[in-house]
Structure 1
């Protein structure tokens, strides 16, 4: 009997008891059994701590503006699993994913796969059947041992490197940077989107003999009041509108995406030179990605963001500082492996009232609201807060307490963002 998509996902969570099992041998072996076909004319792999999803969305929009057929693989999803695999701007449908999972199941035989590895192989399989010009792959965790790294990228992007997933990737930025450098290939371009990358990243990229292009060195961002310039050391200068995506950090993500396209077009004239600027401009204005400082309207205003580590919290703080002054109510939930203290410290007294939501019913990794409250009190003893059993209850309370002209900021996890978006959709 054919499984539904939901049944397949339950099966994948049960067939391998480990939700994370880094390493390429198993997933590469299954991919080879499936014939290891080419995914597309060109492949871009995007890694980094923060900014991956936005960079993928920007690349997709710019490439589509150039009338190219694009496949994008991202994770995790917010509301529907199908969001993870997009072909030509459309989420993969249930039937396509089910057919791919069936092919993977036949090919894997006795080889165990994780939930993420099933999904990665499905994306690769569907891309290989879609006659794509470009496939854009987002790294799930780290880089060197992430399942997407069985594919050799023509261009790699490392957006940022900061402290996250430290149990898996290392105790400091240098160690984490070395892991993320693993997506680069010898002789091929790698875009470093951060102005101050760790030495570990740069050393590993140099050792890999990748062609490094760095923000602030090889390409520059020059911001104006209502526009910006992107400049490359080879003399290319683009005068551009601000990205439609909110947050100051989106200029850095956009700059890295443009650098990746520029490098790709240097290898293969996918976008004619005379069309490059227009495609970039159209992509900047068209790119959308849910729950990245997404403004949901209302009064008090509701903002949702997936930010879940200190670097993301600092970006939120920068955005709040640029807005007109208003009291902020935070709806916050977190997973157990996150640096709650670092996140809370980054936002500090910008938050007038914390509405702490337990996530233990959403995932075994979720923290209780009581655990969040304990860490909040240690870092910000004077902070005002209340605790709630879940995101829905915390959101209701925040929207009840907040007055017109104030803001409700929901963040801390994809689970938080998904709950808020589901409530709005319902």
Structure 2
């Protein structure tokens, strides 16, 4: 029987610790428990919709957070209240729940946890389920006009899927969390498409859409626009001559039937995947009537913590949350794109134990002159020595192991010259550990 707990003096950290331990399984796929609590909350607080104008869900293996940020930036000039829910966070929990690109207050989150606790009865919720419900309640009570929701894991059985989205973007499909989603990319794609609803738009950002996914959308009456079929991304190089020096600029655009939209040139610096994400955002917002006239200005300012984020200069230190094979392949292309700028290229790497380390290292062989490995903390963490043993068959450069990530970065920085670059990546844990590094710039940027 559920016994009330005195939570009147609890801080946000107390609530988060409580929900970390409440449910016996950390990741428990399924909607039943979350849906039951949500139904109680809806009835109690007379909730019809969590946003007054539109709800957009973003699913995919990589690129979800970036796509959510691009959407939020495009909505910012049109609407007064834009909610964004993403995970995980890098520095503080409040990063997950934002309104107008600002994390909401501890008190506002605590108020939602109190409502959840009074509604859940004997139902136990996982950390992600409880925090998802808190985000939904924040958006409702703050009367956001648009809610942008990032799927946590998969789609069909993810807690975010208790909400019927008005539109969906699926960013990319790859193998990650194989113990829950399997290793068949078609099956993974169909699992992610479970967040779609009949007669509500879906944009598929990845090129080469799977025939099985097209068939699924047709059977479910889901309107679909797919990259490479319903819209195309074109590339054109222009030459500008200044003082007898030729500078090349890559101009990219999204082409829809009877119209085309340029993509801000600075996004090319972040690689092809971000171009795909931006093209999907443009396509969806044009489709549903929310593409602002100044969308290029909105997208040109795109920046997101932990996504090719330069935190220091001379040497450049660039943090990225790449942690699976697809993200590693994208990082390899970025490194190659910018390699001519630097003398030596170093890496600081830390990874969680449940990732496909071999595939990540196989994708990155030949990219670095030296690698510095650091222990990752937590129950899912992996020691640097264990990671080095996995990396050894794939990375031919010298490697060194350290007991924590900050020590690994300090060693890399001690070896580097101002003309070098250090890429730090492997998990959100790496970004979290290094964002507060004393060399980090207060105003960071992309490479």
TM range (shorter): over 0.9
In 2 relative to 1, CA 65–286 (structure 1 residues): closer, same or farther, beyond 3 Å?
farther
Deviation of the 1:368 alpha carbon: 1.1
**Counterpart of 2:374?**
357
Structure 1: where are the runs of 5+ without partners? Answer: 266-270
**Counterpart of 1:241?**
264
1:37 equivalent in alignment to 2:48: yes
SS of 1:20's equivalent in the other structure is coil
Gap change, CA 1:277 and 1:121, over 3 Å in 2: closer
Deviation, structure 1 residue 44: 0.3
Displacement after TM superposition at 1:390 (Å): 1.1
Partner residue in 2 for 1:9 = 16
The 1:366–1:200 alpha-carbon spacing in structure 2 relative to 1, beyond 3 Å, is farther
- C-alpha distance in 1, partners of 2:116/2:287? 33
- Aligned-partner Cα distance in 2 for 1:60–1:29: 29
* 1: CA distance, partners of 2:48 / 2:106: 22
Residue 232 of structure 1 is matched in structure 2 by: 256
- Shift in Å at residue 324 of structure 1? 3.8
Query: By how many angstroms is 1:89 displaced?
Result: 2.3
Moved more, 323-332 or 119-128: 323-332
Instruction: Tell me the equivalent position of 1:346.
Output: 363
**TM-score of the aligned structures, taking structure 1 as reference length:** 0.93
> Which string of whole-angstrom CA distances, capped at 9 and with x for unpartnered residues, describes residues 33-92 of structure 1?
001431112110000000000000000000112244210000000000000001122211
Question: How far 1:243 sits from its partner (Å)?
Answer: 4.5
Report what 2:64 is aligned to.
52
Structure-2 separation of matches of 1:109 and 1:243: 51
Counterparts in 2 of 1:263-274, with a 5 A limit? Answer: 263-265=287-289, 271=290
Tell me, yes or no, if structure 1 residue 304 matches structure 2 residue 323. no
1:200 CA displacement:
4.3
Distance in 2, matches of 1:140 and 1:203, equals 25
Where in structure 2 are there 5+ consecutive unaligned residues?
1-7, 237-248, 443-447
Residue-by-residue CA offset, 1:88-121 (whole Å, 9 max, x unaligned): 2221100000000000000101111000011100
Which residue does 2:108 correspond to in 1? 96
Answer with 200-209 or 392-401: which moved more.
Answer: 200-209
CA RMSD of superposed structures (Å):
1.6
Asked if 1:208 is matched to 2:220, the reply is yes
Q: 1:418 aligns with which of 432, 440, 444?
A: 432
Determine helix, strand or coil for the equivalent of 1:72. Answer: strand
2:130 pairs with 1:113: no
What is the aligned partner in structure 2 of residue 261 from structure 1?
285
Aligned length: 413
In structure 2, the residue matched to 1:288 is 303
Give the number of the structure whose alpha-carbon radius of gyration is greater.
2
Q: 1:142 aligned to 2:151?
A: no
Structure 1 residues 11 and 73: alpha-carbon distance in aligned structure 2, compared to 1, 3 A threshold? same
Cross-structure match for 1:268: none
Aligned pair partner of 1:369 in 384, 388, 400: 384
The corresponding residue for 2:421 is 407
Give me the TM-score of the superposition, normalised by structure 2: 0.89
Alpha carbons 1:245, 1:288 under 8 Å: kept? no
- Partners of 2:287 and 2:17 lie apart in 1 by 40
